Structure 1
Amino acid sequence: MEPIRETLKRVVNAPAFSERYNDMRKEVLENHGVQKFLEEHSSEIDKSTVDRGLHKLYEYIDQSHDCNKCPSFEGCINHLKGFEPNLVLERGTIGISYTPCRLKNAHDNKRRASSMIHSMYMPKEVMQATLSGFELDDSRMEAFRAVSKFLDETTGPDNMPKKGLYLYGKFGIGKSYLLSAVANELAEMNIRSVLVFVPEFMREMKQAIGDQTLQEKVDYVKKADVLMLDDIGAEAMSSWTRDEVLGTILHYRMAERLPTFMTSNFSYSELQHHLTYSQRGEKEDLKAARVMERIRALTEPVKLDGRNRRN
């Protein structure tokens, strides 16, 4: 049997192997990144160093750089997903180090931003909203400007306008979408938002009495950096949910001067009328006025108009 050393020597010296090796060496040395690396280390690298490190140089050129060969983070072709190779010289030997790529950084930032938003019963598609995706026309410009002003005046969790917005108007015109877009913008600033679909939240609060989680859930909502109450007025409001749940949340946020956003189909006056009558038909003007006083203290009303975009 032929010794393994002789076998390897014969394979290496074969014309086909030699040709492939030379082609690979040529491809490696013509790569811009490799040339730049060799120039930067010209005083430390000679031909033998290149020959010994040729497999590392080929590993380097065979991968994506600045995500130029990757369609997305999920479609990354590199040996380490989300990391791009960098040539290094360590003790006279060519090696490779890996650093996070542009797509990974964007992916991580998006995940980090998503963790800053807690949604309670909001539709998933709405939660993907962006300001750039908000269709502008004359009837929606006032709301867009009000939102932009709030964001421009926000520089961090401890420096936000004390008043949020009360976005109101008819069904399907983008109130919830704009609310979510604001939450996503705030998340980029590391500001935590809690988005609550009010009708479903109020139903859960009634159930929470039985499982003794009411106070915990109310505390979580009322202490959010930014609270967004979506579709207030669409729920069948009882005296208890109005006074003990909504009233408690709004009173805390008013006292602590925490930004609060709301959307509704009702104007201020229409919402007050809605809050005045309990499920049992009782007329409670004073209690409704007390809740509205807190809403006015927490928000600026902005009407949103336009066509129904759900149809």
Structure 2
Amino acid sequence: MESIKDVIRKISGGKSPLEQSEKMLKELLEDKDVLEFLKRKEGQGITRSDLLKNVPKLYQFVNERHHCRECPGLKNCPNMMQGFRPDLVNDKESLNLTFSPCPLKEAEDMKQKQKGLIKSFYVPKEILTADFQSFIPDIKRKDSILAAGEFIKGYLDSPTDVKGLYLYGEFGVGKTYLAGAIVNELAKRKGISSMLVYTPDFFREMRQSIQDGTVDEKLETVKKVPVLVLDDIGAETMTPWIRDDILGSILQYRMMESLPTIYTSNKDFDDLEAHLSYSDKSGEETLKAKRIMERIRYYTTFVQMEGDNRRGS
């Protein structure tokens, strides 16, 4: 933006500073935004002398408001404070400028905030931007999309009463993408934070974290997030420690605190229970597996997803 000093220098033509300011003020008083401000503040004691003393502020106000009307986009915004538009205020009989973010700036800030709300462990980047608009709806996916909508509505109405979701289906039908669309919608509507965890890699990392002593820190983060997505549960290599001390601890805490969990899996409830009951070291431990499954069965809505493979052949 051209500075007020440069503008005055160009138009001065040897005139005195007062004459220069008078000339500029005459032009500024033709601006509709300035006229609207003076009309609103009529009777508040704003004199011509006050306006003359504040020609630089009036100039910045008019110039930057013009930029906003001819907006070149947020990245190319020429205003001194990029993405902010000025307003005139009469503060204690003195003219001042205040600045507020424009709609484009607000949208960008919300987008960045939204990104910050959604954490992930080993989840593809495309899932972090998933939304219902780009989800390909068809008759086969109708029920799962409706179930996702019901979960969002239920969470927004009463987050401690809503059940989680168990999204079951074949490889590539869009389970993870739908889970991503759900958490993005919650972030967009109410600023709700969430975490998406690709379960096999997360459990592998937890085993490795024993060496550096970060197991408890990572476990606490996953346990306490408002909305948790455990992606591809059942695809991990199961051990008693993972089942009882990691998964069991996460689900017990979330059950006690009424925090909903969304699962995606290629296994239905019975197959997942069989998977949880067996490990190479301990053989079958059906009671412990049933204890985990109780926390999944009774605190989720089972949703079978069908449809063509979204990832292509």
TM-score range, shorter chain: 0.7 to 0.9
Give the equivalent residue in structure 2 for 1:131. Answer: 132
Give the equivalent residue in structure 1 for 2:242. Answer: 241
Pair 1:33 & 2:28 matched: no
Give the equivalent residue in structure 1 for 2:82. Answer: 81
Distance 2:210 2:303 in 1: 35
Distance 2:71 2:87 in 1: 17
Q: Over aligned residues, Cα RMSD in angstroms?
A: 3.2
1:12 alignment partner, one of 11, 14, 19: 14
Give the equivalent residue in structure 2 for 1:63. Answer: 64
- Cα offset, 1:258, TM superposition: 2.1
Whether the 8 Å CA contact 1:260–1:299 is kept in 2: the answer is yes
Deviations 1:167-220 (A, max 9, x none): 111222221122122222223424332221101101011111222222232232
AA aligned to 1:165 is L
Q: 1:11 to 1:275 in 2, by over 3 A?
A: same
Distance 1:184 1:8 in 2: 52
Distance 1:254 1:8 in 2: 71
SS class of match (1:154):
helix
Distance 1:216 1:261 in 2: 22
Give the equivalent residue in structure 1 for 2:100. Answer: 99
Distance 2:192 2:141 in 1: 25
Deviations 1:263-285 (A, max 9, x none): 01122222223333324693443
Give the equivalent residue in structure 1 for 2:229. Answer: 228
- Cα offset, 1:66, TM superposition: 9.6
Give the equivalent residue in structure 1 for 2:179. Answer: 179
Q: 1:9 to 1:221 in 2, by over 3 A?
A: closer
Distance 1:93 1:294 in 2: 64
Whether the 8 Å CA contact 1:163–1:299 is kept in 2: the answer is yes
Give the equivalent residue in structure 2 for 1:3. Answer: none
* Structure 1: gaps of 5 or more residues: 1-6
SS class of match (1:109):
helix
Whether the 8 Å CA contact 1:67–1:103 is kept in 2: the answer is no
Give the equivalent residue in structure 2 for 1:250. Answer: 251
Distance 2:256 2:292 in 1: 14
Whether the 8 Å CA contact 1:165–1:302 is kept in 2: the answer is yes
Whether the 8 Å CA contact 1:196–1:228 is kept in 2: the answer is yes
Give the equivalent residue in structure 1 for 2:161. Answer: 161
Whether the 8 Å CA contact 1:66–1:101 is kept in 2: the answer is no
- Cα offset, 1:307, TM superposition: 1.5
Is 183-192 or 274-283 further displaced after alignment?
A: 274-283
- Cα offset, 1:36, TM superposition: 0.8
Q: 1:66 to 1:149 in 2, by over 3 A?
A: farther
Distance 1:91 1:282 in 2: 79
- Cα offset, 1:64, TM superposition: 4.1
- TM-score, scaled to structure 2: 0.81
Q: Percent identity?
A: 42
Distance 1:223 1:41 in 2: 51
Give the equivalent residue in structure 2 for 1:260. Answer: 261
AA aligned to 2:227 is V
- Cα offset, 1:49, TM superposition: 5.0
Deviations 1:44-101 (A, max 9, x none): 4565555554443332222147954445443332111232111234566644222233
Whether the 8 Å CA contact 2:65–2:85 is kept in 1: the answer is yes
Is 112-121 or 229-238 further displaced after alignment?
A: 112-121
